[in-house]
Amino acid sequence: MLKQKNNIWSLELDWSSSQTKEELVSDAEQDQGVLGALEPPSQIKNMRICGYRGLCLPHWMMQNDSCCADKLIKQTSICQLLSLTDMTLEGFPNLKYIRGLLVFGSLKSLNLLRMANLEELWTTTNGSKIHGCCFPVLSELCITGCPKLNVKPYFPPSLITLAFEDSNEQLLSPSSFSHRLPLSADEPSSSCNVHSDSAALHLKKLRLTGSSSSWGYLRHCTELEILHIECCNDMAELLEILQNLTSHPCSSCL
């Protein structure tokens, strides 16, 4: 079994396919079984999965496998990918939801690429603000080609670098960066559901490609140090906003 190969530190799984849309859907269950059987060893540090056609992620990436009809592999214990620092998920044509993930305690870089049907990413274990973060130390996130994607409840507070291209621009609104603040000593615990910093955009680096319908979200990036923008046609509004980013020095590349 792959999980017993203790000398593997980096893993790439690639489903190369030129099949039709109907064939992609019909192979979803087969792919789920195959990927479910390819559980990596716990010490894996880098992982890239490309072209997977399953309807959900494998059981070894989940808190439980109740959301996935993976009948071929029966999970006997929760997988612990405690050493994983870099993960890329690319070109999953049938995946709509990423929910109920494990806590990736060492993951620093996550790339979500070319997922046209991906609608939802939970960054906490059940998608709510009062449960544990799945990515407690995530500092770099790249989202490319995910036009339907929404993040629940918000991006991880540890996020420093965001690269964004051809995806849902609502992800760049301040609400996507809200995070729960610690309660004061005299504050009742019942208030934790609504206690949040709605303008907590603590990004240091932001990379954008393509024009945006509104650059207003940049006004909230008060700690931004590096801004990289390519293929921009909305120069008038953008330049006005950049002139107002005076809280911290920011080097920009247009």
Of 7-16, 28-37, 127-136, 216-225, the one with minimum mean pLDDT is 216-225
Model confidence band, residue 199 (pLDDT cutoffs 50, 70, 90): very low
**What's the mean per-residue pLDDT of the chain?**
79
- Looking at residue 80, what is its pLDDT? 79
For every residue of 196-220, DSSP letters joined together read EETT----SEEEEES--S--GGGGG
Model confidence band, residue 23 (pLDDT cutoffs 50, 70, 90): low
Peptide bond into 249 cis (omega under 30): no
- Looking at residue 148, what is its pLDDT? 96
Buried/exposed code over 203-241 (b: 16+ C-beta within 10 A; e: otherwise): bbbbbbeeebeebebbebbeebeebebeeeeeeeebeee
Does the pLDDT of residue 205 top 50, yes or no?
Answer: yes
Which of 29-43, 178-192, 199-213, 216-230 has the highest mean predicted lDDT (pLDDT)? 29-43
